[in-house]
Amino acid sequence: MTENSNVIVVGGGYAGVMAANRLTQRDDVTVTLINPRSTFVHRVRLHQLVGGSDDAVVDYREILAEDVRLVVDSVTRIDAAERSVTLATGGTVEYDHLIYAVGSGSADPGVPGAAEFAYPIAGLEEAQRLRPVLDAASAKAPVTVVGAGPTGIETAAELAEAGRAVTLVCGGVLGPYLHPRGRRSVARRMAELGVAVLEGPDARVTAVTRDSVRLGDGRTLPSEVTIWTAGFAVPDLAARSGLSTDALGRLLTDETLTSVDDPHIVAAGDSAAPSGLPLRMSCQAAIPLGARAADTVLSRIEGEQPSPLNQVFAGQCISLGRDTGIFQFAHRYDVAVGFHIDGRTGARLKEIVCKGIVKHLAAESRKPGSYRLHRVSGGAKRQELLRAARPADETRAKAADETPVTVEHVA
């Protein structure tokens, strides 16, 4: 019998909850989950919160194992040398192993006026702040959604279906991930909903005012409510704590998700950068990464060598209002293929996915160790990418006078 191990999971999102639940497999592991809120944010429904069809929260009692101690607080610093974290409310908590799962939020738009006048929605409080603003705006008020990734598309569709006059400014193409066939389907649906879709390099917002947006080609569009969905950023906790990160601030790990600085720190979800080749920021990756992170910690406790990550993607599932959606299928290495399911069936699939996420977490809370998707092979592609990154890495190391560099510098 080994000694009791204290594991702290920082961040109670998809990755953190999966990891915390899975760690309860062992009676000699004490699991503490630190999260700033006492409720779980179901982020994949935040556009529904904006549209008024869901509150995008789930009670932790539904999805978190009873043996996990939930501490409602924020970690302000990780002291790797002392193996402790500092909490925002004061005090420190010590650990034997730490799982870093602080997720992501809205990126700084870096556009004049956006911080003051545009509404980001990647976080719960941001989406909640926007709701009354929309309620107060007249039904005909022009609404601009900036960014045509899945969050922008879903938000534009949700609001247009509710009768809003929506312009979607893509800053490039509509749904960059989508296969051209999938993109045509989404474009048709947007047209049906009356969304004005502005595509192309000039359809880029360069300034935001209280009642308008300016585009790259000099046009000014009236916009009473401007919603910013372009890009995710990650918390700077790892960098602030002196840990190695990629350029975006994701914790840099090896393929077992272990920090390149410290074997007692493991990362998962949007805030992890395995081998400097991070996976697409998504719930789809966060849950298996959470399971993998827990398995890595459990292997270390057992004195075994942890396994490297697998990741298999299915595609991208986008709601296009409440009754329509699209499931864009992909190669398992996350590149869209020419097959999708759209219309009502697409919407049903999206709903199954959203409910399935909560079910997966709840199932793992009741029967820790039962989740298996992170063991399914994602094929040879990741190995190819890692191999392709390595020679460049070595060349750069030579160029930098034999100073070793990590794969993060290669992208």
Ligand X SMILES: Cc1cc2nc3c(=O)[nH]c(=O)nc-3n(C[C@H](O)[C@H](O)[C@H](O)COP(=O)(O)OP(=O)(O)OC[C@H]3O[C@@H](n4cnc5c(N)ncnc54)[C@H](O)[C@@H]3O)c2cc1C
Contact positions toward ligand X, by CB under 6 A? 10-16, 34-36, 41, 43-44, 46-47, 74-75, 101-104, 122, 150-151, 235, 237, 269-271, 281-284, 286, 317
DSSP string, 98-148: EEE----EEPP--STTHHHHEEE-SSHHHHHHHHHHHHHS-TT-EEEEE--
Residue type, position 88, single letter: A
List all residues 6 or more positions away from 177 whose beta carbon is below 8 Å from its beta carbon.
149, 150, 316, 328, 336
Asked if 183 and 174 count as a contact pair (C-beta separation under 8 A), the reply is yes
Residue nearest to ligand X (CB): 13
Q: What are phi and psi of 47, to 5 degrees?
A: -65, -25
Nearer to ligand X, 190 or 318 (CB): 318
Scanning the structure block, which residue is given the tokens 């909560």?
Answer: 358
Nearer to ligand X, 326 or 410 (CB): 326
Q: How far is the CB of 10 from ligand X (least distance, A)?
A: 5
Q: How far is the CB of 189 from ligand X (least distance, A)?
A: 16
Pairing state between β 29-35 and 68-72 = parallel
Nearer to ligand X, 126 or 255 (CB): 126
Residue type, position 258, single letter: T
Q: How far is the CB of 36 from ligand X (least distance, A)?
A: 5
Nearer to ligand X, 42 or 214 (CB): 42
Q: How far is the CB of 195 from ligand X (least distance, A)?
A: 17
- Taking the C-alpha atoms of residue 334 and residue 343, their distance in angstroms, rounded to an integer, is 22
Nearer to ligand X, 212 or 226 (CB): 226
Q: How far is the CB of 334 from ligand X (least distance, A)?
A: 11
Q: How far is the CB of 267 from ligand X (least distance, A)?
A: 9
Nearer to ligand X, 75 or 157 (CB): 75
Dihedral of CA 82/88/89/95: which sign? negative
